[in-house]
Amino acid sequence: MIRKKDILNIMGSRCPDSIIKIRIKINKIKNGDLIFVISDDQTTKYEIPRFCTFMNHILLLTIYKSNIYKFLIQKKIIE
Q: How far apart are CA 1 and CA 21, in angstroms?
A: 22
State the chain's maximal CA–CA distance in angstroms. 39
Verify whether residue 15 is a known catalytic residue.
Answer: yes
Annotated catalytic residue: which of 4, 5, 14, 15? 15
Q: Which residues are catalytic?
A: 15
